[in-house]
Chain A
Amino acid sequence: MTLSYIRSWFSKLPEDEKDLPIVILDGVAYTPRMILHEVERGSKVGAELQAKVEAHSFGTTEEEAYNLALIRLKEILKKYPPNKPVIAVLSTPPTALTPEQVIQEVEEGTPLGKRLVNAELQQVKYILSLR
């Protein structure tokens, strides 16, 4: 486990991902940039964060995973006008959701919301596995 591992991982990340929380440790959400900083400092929490990155682990409980997904989805959707539809659904009746409505689906734990959380966590694992 070396600093170069984390530096290499960080360098491969898309710019947008570098400041999105990706690991939760002791109730605190860390972005890749924060993780790199802690590892470069040689801090105890840095060592723990590095271990998590190398294990592709973003949290330890289902609640932590959900909270991480929700934080990330909120950040991603902030880019879009809040009252304009951003996603449509091929359902009957047809549905088009604003960013606010998408977050509501996640917060209410609807089937669609759960799928979005699941997709978010899949992407987190993918990001953690980048080499």
Chain B
Amino acid sequence: MNVNKFVFILPTSDYLDYGSCVLRKVIRESVDVGDHYRALEGGDATPENVESAVKGVNPALVAGIGHGSPCAYTVQDKEFLLMCLDPSHGCDTDMNMGLVGGRVWFLNSCHVGEELGKVMVEEYGAVAFLGSNAPYLFPVFAPPCTDFDVMAAFTAEYAALHYLLRGFTVKEAHNARLKAYDELIREYTVGSRKTSPNAQLIVRLLRVDKDIAVFYGDGSAIVATAEPQVKSALMHHPMEAGVGAVAIVIGGLALLSEAISKLKRKAS
């Protein structure tokens, strides 16, 4: 795979801005200067632009948010990017499946893990797929990224992306997001966030989203290289990597990122 090369899909229509604003922060904190990537945001996150970016960058990882069904993943304005034939779910053709092979896909979307994710791996050569196999839920009682409560679900989910971008394997990344969900459930039940007026609702959504998290394909695949010292630091401080990397407060991400940068400079 073409490691350290990524394409990110950040549509903002139809409530997707709730996830895209968190994804934007993850990219800012996790992608190194030396990495090569394209990030398609808002009106730029069209099927044509994504197709062009994937063909141009030939990334090891495509990561994004979008609305989905068992057989389709959509981007800005619900335009179809990927589809596998399944008339029973309203998918009457394959679409763009030729883009899929030879790379890891992280798609934060409802249902895609139910069928499309499997087809991507089993029939079209995707190295791995991470996503959800049922409806993915998130709160919308406040505007996007205005407080941690509305970001909580995505913060846990994108722990997987943090790990992937720091050189961990697909399986390690998947486990990191499960751990992040558990940690946030604990925080909102008995920890520092239990006094939030939204704590009870957030916990229920976190539990649903954790239960539907799936990955398929090669769990040992890696999409980014990281300095051994960086990985070692994260392995010895798993809570920091799992929870700090997703950070109860986003400021924690900045601290972790700074720590990683220091280690990298020391290594070089």
Contacts and interface: CB of A to CB of B under 8 A. Distances in A.
Given A91-B110, A91-B111, 20 more contacts: A14-B189, A14-B195, A16-B194, A16-B200, A86-B139, A87-B201, A88-B18, A89-B136, A90-B16, A90-B110, A91-B69, A92-B74, A92-B78, A93-B78, A94-B67, A115-B135, A116-B208, A118-B207, A119-B205, A126-B189
Nearest to A16: B200
10 closest residue pairs by CB, A with B = A119-B207, A94-B14, A91-B110, A90-B110, A88-B15, A14-B194, A90-B136, A76-B200, A88-B140, A92-B69
A88 B211 contact: no
A87 B138 contact: yes
B109 interface: yes
Given A88-B140, A90-B68, A123 B207 contact: yes
Nearest to B90: A92
A94 B15 contact: yes
Interface in B188-245: 189-190, 194-195, 197, 199-201, 203-205, 207-208, 211-212
A76 B135 contact: no
A128 B131 CA distance: 31
A90 B67 contact: yes
A120 B201 CA distance: 10
B1 interface: no
